[in-house]
Structure 1
Amino acid sequence: MLSGRFKFKQVRQFAVLLALAALAGCATTRPAEAPKATRTGVQPLDRLTVAIVPPERDLEAQLMAGDFALAANDLKAASEAYGHAASLGDDPKVAARAAELALAVHDQAAAAKAVERWAALGAKPAELASARARMALDRGDTAEAQRQLDALIATGDPDAWREFGRILASGRDAAQAGVLLERIATPQRLPNDSTAWLAMSELGESLGRHDYATSIGDAALARFHNGTTYAWAGQRAFQAGDKAGAKKLFAKAVERDPKNPRLRMAYASLLVQLGDSKAATKLLATGAQNADTYTMRLSLAAKAEDKAAIARLYGEIRRQSDDVQTENAFILGQMAELLGKQEDALDWYAAVGDDDPRIFDASVRSAVILHQQGKDDDAHEIVAELQTNFAEHPEQLLKAFAVDGELYMDAGRFNEAAEAFDKALRVKADDTDMLYGRGLAYAEAGRIDDAVADFRKVLSLKPGDIEASNALGYTLADSGRDLGEAQSLIQTAREARPNDPSVADSWGWLKYRQGELDQAESTLRGAWAQRKDAEIGVHLAEVLWTRGHRDEARKLLNDVRRIDPKNAALLKTEQKFKP
């Protein structure tokens, strides 16, 4: 829109230049003759002036000003600019936009002027009634709002009830909106469309009108008996704590409309919440399939760690048409990953289209696979491309830098990881996840003061954060400083997560630093039994070595080597144990 208006301005200015050139051409192509003297000595071209339209009278200038203000999120300035534009032009869409913006900034005078201009330019009765109802609601005039909402419904516009709901849902006074809902959206007036009835019932719930919502929902079920009315009744039953009733109603919904994938997914979600994932999986496998049902089926199989089910689903989609496979390329990539088919996964992720909303995630997964294959340069190249492609999208850009940091962390390139998290923090300063990630990178790189500073900052932004408390406590204990503070921090984490082996590892290591070897050994043995993690194993081995149990310590390090042969703590401890 902006580029078109700039082009218009440029063409208009160029036309003036052409006019000047033509005039100049006429002057220079006449037969040469001596210039005639005038009383002032001024040539005709010297007297030529070009009329310049003041900005406040220039329609295009006002439209551009309005668009610039919107881009800067300055709604008041945008409203003023579009209001001027509406008075200068004859485009009803501009007047409609002016009215919308005036209502957004609660400028009643500007809204009234814009609506009247819109009416003069041919606005539909339903559009005018909608705008006037919103104006009345904004100034708290319930009676006028009801008159205009009644007028909106009376127009018979196909979208009248949808607009009615939108107006009340966006009102500033929920009590006022609730009163109008009950007065106007009665069973006698609602159309013969179950969607409208259910929308009003749902709106009633959101406005705190539970009795109204229930009566309209029950009436819709009695009148229409279709899948969506049964599903809405089931949802309300579940919210009321009637799980058995909800299950029966959802089963009825699917029975009434077995080809509706959304109803099957809703019922499957209920079954999962009721602890019957097996029944949910069976239900989802019946009937028509789409990307959502495939995704939910994959999620259930992955959660159950059922590789056989994943393989069957993978084969099922592979037997579909090329279009279906392309539409589900991201899901196929996930399944290939879970089945250990990395090359197939890369091919599927590469098939995800640029306009697919999952293209970012597909690229991330490709980078992770390449990293796992030892192709770090290729992995970081993909992430760098993401950083370029999503430079104007802060949320994705932040994630791209975080992925870069995690890949560097996993490769043991801790200073580069810290740089990646630092770039992420330039996108969103004080992001606690990025601060935590950079703190871990600093700690691994031996930059203890920097790590401590980042963990402390996380705790200042999120007091009591468990991960940060544990990380700061461990870092202090590992570096042998402020052990009293370290104990307090780790104890906070232990109280919050008494069965977390990572927290137990921190506590055991702290006890080792404090010289309490019995407690250190018992705590670390418990953590190692819960999780065969390389760091926990190395810590336990060092405690055992210190206590003179060297054969057991060496055996334990061999176990760790099989888990993570390149673990930095393992390599460091093995050097320490050499004679």
Structure 2
Amino acid sequence: MQGIRLSRRFISLALSIFVGGCALGNNTFAGQQTTNVATFSSPLSYQVYNILAAEMFIQEGNPGQAALHYAAAAQQSDDPAIARRAVELAVGVNDNALAARALERWVALEPESPEALQYQAINSLRAGNYEAAAKALAKVRDKVEKEDGHGFEFIVSLLALEPDAKKSFQTLKQYVQTVDSSARAQLALATLAINSDQFEDGLKAARTARQAGDKPQQEQASRLIAKALAGMDRVPDAVTELETASKASKNPDLKLDYARMLILADRRAEATPIFKQLYASHPDNTDILYTLGLLYLEQKEFAFAEPLIKKLLDIPERATEASYFMGQIQEGQKRPEKAIRFYQQAMGGHYEKEATLRVASLLLETESLESARQWLEEQQQATSNDDRKLLLLQTEGHLLHDKGRYKDAISIYGKALALKPDDFDTLYSRALSAEKAGDFKAAEADLRTLLQQEPDNATVLNALGYMLVVNTERYPDAEALINKALQQRPNDPAIMDSMGWILFRTGKLAEAESWLRKAYTQLQDPEIASHLIEVLSAGGKQAEAKTLLDEMLVKYPDDAQLVNVRKKLVGL
């Protein structure tokens, strides 16, 4: 192709033919064949025309048409570079049929090309022809293996680059079944399976690898087995798998996975000493340092957490997160001014929303609501970023709502919605403030707007259902909404509470008590407790109701709902 030299006159002629209507509009290679090669003076002129047309289409941002023309040129050329260009363009626009035709030509011209075989594998994969893809991968592996001894690793990397993880998994599964069933291949298959949420297949492949592999492969297999089990919601089984494997090994990665799985199983007390041991032997491991610091922080062991989190401040990619956690540590140690400084350093990072709320809340606690609002206003004036402004307005609205200034909160949420009219969080928050302000009609309108956006959102369904129970007698509508929310989240205690309360309102005491007991078992919340106390009292179980009320008032002496229940239920 590089040897072709064209006169200006010939270029003009080729372009005039192109403009005159010889370019093809079909979307497949077969359509390209409608052009009669005999209309050109020679195969060379046919090549030149298609190459020029292809390059013009590339300039115009139409790679699909460019691929058609390069594929046509490739059929009349012995230059593999033209066929390769056709393949690249066809694969880029996901035209599998055209890519397959161009690949045939490329492989015919350059049968030993590893690149052609790679494209052949990827194209077959995307077309769902996993058997052909596996065969092509085997050839690629052999060629790369001869060059640098890493053929298998190369094809696994190639599959990992493919966006459709499920197709990559199916291809490697075919490869393992027909070409290579070694422990190494099974481990790669298990990894791809888990990454594409094929947990059953991942578990099977990892167990096969554990049976056939050497000790390092067995350890890797145990880690993958645990991941597959966790993906299948079998966390206790995953913990057992890693506990057994880590006891028989000195591999720190196994112990780290075991400690992480303990956290996932909500067994933090058991995880903490393991992380302490790992930190002692690997003090520079950022992940271990990070997790141990958070474990101490979660357990309110601030003196132990502080030096660890301080180390993270010196790691650029962790600095903003570490600043937020340092803010929590300072707040836990009753140092609000230092906490505010650290929270401000955390802004712009992953915890920007939380840090902004904490600064405003601390200013509210240590100074006044007006000081917090003034800071939020200054922050708004200092930024031109609408997302940041939205966050600041939402934070101000939350503060006002919590202080019982519902109409002011509604006004602030209105300003936020002027920036982003359909913002989900703002509409939801405004609905809650409107209901508290006594404007149920406005609250319902906002929640209905949200359900138009997300008809199956359990939080909104439950909120609207509960509001209907409390503010209206539209009980059938309320029950339908709450039932729909339960279908989405059957174990959510807040939704169980709503169901219990509507059953109480409709006179079904036994069913109401059952739902409220289940809700309270999962979440000892004052609102759920107040509902259960009222239902127990209505059912003649005053002694149990009084005991529960007394217990909750010890924990939450200032909770308005519990206080109201005591006033409402004389004798408790």
Q: TM-score, normalised by structure 2?
A: 0.60
Match of residue 209 from structure 2: 216
1:432-471 aligned at under 5 Å gives the runs: 434-455=426-447, 462=455, 465=458, 468-469=461-462
Match of residue 242 from structure 2: 246
Match of residue 128 from structure 1: 116
| Residue of structure 1 aligned with 2:276, choices 261, 285, 290 | 285
Contact 2:211 2:218 in 1 (8 A): no
TM-superposition CA deviations, 1:343-389 (whole Å, max 9, x none) = 223333444586x5555654554455445444222135446767816
TM-superposition CA deviations, 1:25-64 (whole Å, max 9, x none) = xxxxxxxxxxxxxxxxxxxxxxxxxxxxx9x969897557
Which of the two has higher C-alpha Rg?
Answer: 1
Q: 1:360 to 1:91 in 2, by over 3 A?
A: farther
TM-superposition CA deviations, 1:63-100 (whole Å, max 9, x none) = 5754xxxxxxxxxx664568779999x99998786344
**Other structure's SS at 2:93 match:** helix
- How far did 1:426 drift? 2.6
- How far did 1:148 drift? 1.3
Contact 1:99 1:114 in 2 (8 A): no
Contact 1:504 1:524 in 2 (8 A): yes
| Residue of structure 1 aligned with 2:304, choices 307, 312, 326 | 312
How far apart are the structure 2 equivalents of 1:86 and 1:357?
Answer: 48
Q: TM-score, normalised by structure 1?
A: 0.60
Match of residue 192 from structure 2: 203
Contact 2:120 2:136 in 1 (8 A): yes
Q: 1:100 to 1:414 in 2, by over 3 A?
A: same
**Other structure's SS at 1:137 match:** helix
Match of residue 416 from structure 1: 411
How far apart are the structure 2 equivalents of 1:92 and 1:471?
Answer: 61
TM-superposition CA deviations, 1:190-242 (whole Å, max 9, x none) = 8xxx6x7632333356385454442224333x253686455335556877837
Q: 1:242 to 1:146 in 2, by over 3 A?
A: closer
The alignment status of 1:501 with 2:497, answered yes or no, reads no
Match of residue 566 from structure 1: none
1:111-126 aligned at under 5 Å gives the runs: 112-113=101-102, 125-126=113-114
- How far did 1:280 drift? 0.9
Contact 1:470 1:493 in 2 (8 A): no
TM-superposition CA deviations, 1:438-487 (whole Å, max 9, x none) = 21011123322111333456678556946754665456645xx4275699
How far apart are the structure 2 equivalents of 1:299 and 1:153?
Answer: 44
Contact 1:442 1:448 in 2 (8 A): yes
Q: Which runs of 5+ in 1 are unaligned?
A: 1-53, 67-76, 392-396, 553-579
Match of residue 346 from structure 1: 340
Q: CA RMSD in A?
A: 5.2
- How far did 1:179 drift? 2.4
How far apart are the structure 2 equivalents of 1:178 and 1:398?
Answer: 48
Contact 1:508 1:524 in 2 (8 A): yes
- How far did 1:183 drift? 1.9
**Other structure's SS at 1:419 match:** helix
Q: Which runs of 5+ in 2 are unaligned?
A: 1-48, 74-80, 145-150, 483-496, 502-511
Contact 1:473 1:487 in 2 (8 A): yes
Match of residue 301 from structure 1: 296
- How far did 1:249 drift? 0.5
| Residue of structure 1 aligned with 2:133, choices 145, 150, 155 | 145
Match of residue 258 from structure 2: 267
- How far did 1:246 drift? 3.0
Contact 2:176 2:186 in 1 (8 A): no
How far apart are the structure 2 equivalents of 1:331 and 1:118?
Answer: 58
Match of residue 25 from structure 2: none
Match of residue 376 from structure 1: 373
- How far did 1:151 drift? 1.8
How far apart are the structure 1 equivalents of 2:410 and 2:57?
Answer: 51
The alignment status of 1:536 with 2:529, answered yes or no, reads no
Q: 1:183 to 1:227 in 2, by over 3 A?
A: same
Match of residue 509 from structure 2: none
Which deviates more from structure 2 when the two are superposed, residues 126-135 or residues 361-370? 361-370
How far apart are the structure 2 equivalents of 1:408 and 1:119?
Answer: 74
**Other structure's SS at 1:375 match:** helix
- Count how many residue pairs are aligned between Structure 1 and Structure 2: 449
Contact 1:440 1:451 in 2 (8 A): yes
Match of residue 173 from structure 2: 178
**Other structure's SS at 2:421 match:** helix
